[in-house]
A and B are shown apart, each in its own frame.
Chain A
Amino acid sequence: MEITTNLTGERIKKYLSQGKRFDGRKENEFREIKIEKDISKNAEGSVRVNIGKTEVLVGVKLGIGEPYPDSPEKGNLMTTAELLPLSSPRFESGPPKFPAIELARVIDRGIRESKYIDFDKLCIKKGEKVWTVFVDIYTINDDGNLFDAAGIGAITALKNAKMPKYDEETGKILFGEWTDEKVPLSDGTPISITAHKIGDRFIIDPTREEEDVSEVRITAGISNGIISSMQKGNSESLSMEDMDKILDLLEKTERELFKKLEKFLK
């Protein structure tokens, strides 16, 4: 299970060329998505996301920090991701390596660029004190498509996150006590969707094996058809026609996925 053999890879491609996948899904079909809220009570918001056998935990914590000099009236966002060795024989302990850094940054940009969080409302004192929103992603089982699982986890965890109480006199957060307020968010929810090119076919939500033979990966943060972030991965090139197909696929998938997620985003 550690590596996907060439033989398996060729079989995946051969099947796909006939529009078929090993698990019988259509090219643009997600595996079953399960979302469980409030999985960790000390977090301001937390969720468990399962996409098929892939599982991630996402937690939101709030902290107090200094604003950046170029945005003295805006709160901060910090996204981290850890590919826990617990979740796959491929992941090792140690400082984050590129895949974890990339995952965190792609999710970070999806949230940031879409202006999902209303940072203007997270200012406590101009130029001195602002809220920092921490979005922490942990993988529990990697069976492909961690990007979308993490993206879905991030938006649902944020949507469910409550603001902790803040003591103005001491300038400290009263952890464990929450206000009725939610973390301020905008309406446009950025949904992370990743498309892969395998042979001359395009699929979404790859399993681990499919991801291994993917030639190109495109992750986009989309909200109501508006793309706010995008990242291409892997070293193959894409023709313009390919790109058109991917954009169509992403747009169509976003609508379907949003319907599935709607009840968790209220």
Chain B
Amino acid sequence: MSKEFKRQDGRKPNEMRRPISAKVGVVPNADGSAMYCSGKTIAIAAVYGPKKMHPQHSQNPEKGTLRCTYNMLSFSVADRIRPGPNRRSTEISKITEWALEPVVMLDKYPNRVVDVYIHMIQADAGTRCAGINAAAMALAHAGIPMKNIVSSIAAGKLDKTVVLDLDKYEDSEFKEGEGSTDIPMTFTPDGKLTHIQVDGHISKEQLKEAMNMAREACKEIYEVQKQALKEIKE
């Protein structure tokens, strides 16, 4: 592995983008809400519920449902995107649900739904991770029973080097050597993986390296989230 690998913005391979910051209570109407910023990516999330599930045929009599909606504001990216859902956002919405469900305890809310709305105000890669981080805080803020919160970040590989937290350039424009691999992941504070996606190509060994790197980084994100939740003033 080449030690002298240089990232365009001068970060070390295992260095995440900064600043990272979090704030809870950004949408007064919501039962819970939060903002998470990482580098140039800004995500907000709001939680409504548990409330009665509509349409009725979607109700689950066994337990409550977590319903996430991920969306990018049309002006959050350089080339304006058409407002409204698309295939990418539909997939990320579902991924977000899966990332959060392992820690959310909805057994006591049969036939009910907890809605989580996630919006990107400014996007610079890593939006699904920022969205999940914001959503986890918003759920906690809403007082939804949870085992814990989750923290999310992407690791990846640029050419041959495993790196943390790809930015927009590294994610979509980096073409050198083996190119770029993006691996968004979500962890619980005790280090369990609740979500992983891989885009690119990477060996098993390097994937493990990437996972460990992300898991370490999530510890720091967890502290930021926790601190933001402690600072709620209402």
User: What is A's interface to B at a CB cutoff of 8 Å?
Assistant: 1, 39-44, 46, 53, 55, 57, 59-61, 63, 80, 82, 84-89, 93, 95, 134, 136, 138, 140-143, 173, 175-176
29 A–B contact pairs at CB < 8 A? A39-B121, A39-B122, A42-B77, A42-B78, A42-B122, A55-B27, A59-B73, A59-B76, A61-B74, A61-B75, A61-B80, A63-B80, A80-B83, A82-B83, A82-B84, A84-B71, A86-B27, A86-B33, A86-B45, A87-B27, A87-B29, A134-B75, A136-B74, A136-B80, A136-B83, A140-B26, A141-B29, A142-B29, A176-B78
Question: Are B119 and A89 neighbours in the complex by a CB distance under 8 Å?
Answer: no
B219 at the interface (CB under 8 A from A): no
User: Could you give, for residues 58-83 of chain B, a 1 whenever the CB lies within 8 Å of some chain A CB and a 0 otherwise?
Assistant: 00000000000101011111111001
Q: Which residues of B contact A88 (CB under 8 A)?
A: 29
Contact size range, B? 20 to 34
Question: Are A86 and B121 neighbours in the complex by a CB distance under 8 Å?
Answer: no
Q: Which residues of B contact A175 (CB under 8 A)?
A: 78-79
User: What is B's interface to A at a CB cutoff of 8 Å?
Assistant: 26-30, 33, 40, 42, 44-46, 48, 51, 69, 71, 73-80, 83-84, 115, 117, 119, 121-124
Question: Are A40 and B122 neighbours in the complex by a CB distance under 8 Å?
Answer: yes
Question: Are B73 and A57 neighbours in the complex by a CB distance under 8 Å?
Answer: yes
Q: Please, how many angstroms separate the alpha-carbon atoms of A80 and B198 in the complex?
A: 35
Assuming the contacts A82-B83, A84-B117, asked whether A59 and B48 have C-beta atoms less than 8 A apart, the reply is no
Nearest CB in chain B: distance from A249 CB, A: 28
Q: Which residues of B contact A53 (CB under 8 A)?
A: 28-29
Q: Which residues of A contact B124 (CB under 8 A)?
A: 42
Q: Which residues of A contact B76 (CB under 8 A)?
A: 40, 42-43, 59
Assuming the contacts A40-B42, A57-B73, asked whether A143 and B83 have C-beta atoms less than 8 A apart, the reply is no
Output the nearest chain B residue to A59 by Cβ-Cβ distance. Answer: B75
Assuming the contacts A53-B28, A87-B29, asked whether A40 and B119 have C-beta atoms less than 8 A apart, the reply is no
Question: Which 10 pairs show the lowest CB-CB distances between chains A and B?
Answer: A59-B75, A175-B78, A86-B117, A43-B75, A61-B80, A86-B46, A40-B122, A136-B74, A176-B78, A42-B78
Q: Which residues of B contact A61 (CB under 8 A)?
A: 74-75, 80
Nearest CB in chain A: distance from B23 CB, A: 13
Question: Are B74 and A59 neighbours in the complex by a CB distance under 8 Å?
Answer: yes
Kindly list 4 other residue pairs between chains A and B, CB separation below 8 angstroms, not including A40-B122, A86-B117, A93-B69: A40-B42, A59-B75, A86-B30, A86-B44
Q: Please, how many angstroms separate the alpha-carbon atoms of A41 and B75 in the complex?
A: 9
Q: Which residues of A contact B74 (CB under 8 A)?
A: 59, 61, 80, 134, 136
Output the nearest chain B residue to A93 by Cβ-Cβ distance. Answer: B69
Nearest CB in chain B: distance from A80 CB, A: 6
Assuming the contacts A41-B122, A84-B119, A143-B28, asked whether A136 and B46 have C-beta atoms less than 8 A apart, the reply is no
Question: Are B27 and A140 neighbours in the complex by a CB distance under 8 Å?
Answer: yes
Q: Which residues of B contact A82 (CB under 8 A)?
A: 83-84
Question: Are A85 and B73 neighbours in the complex by a CB distance under 8 Å?
Answer: no
Q: Please, how many angstroms separate the alpha-carbon atoms of A57 and B123 in the complex?
A: 15
Q: Please, how many angstroms separate the alpha-carbon atoms of A44 and B98 in the complex?
A: 35
Q: Which residues of B contact A60 (CB under 8 A)?
A: 75
Question: Are A85 and B123 neighbours in the complex by a CB distance under 8 Å?
Answer: no
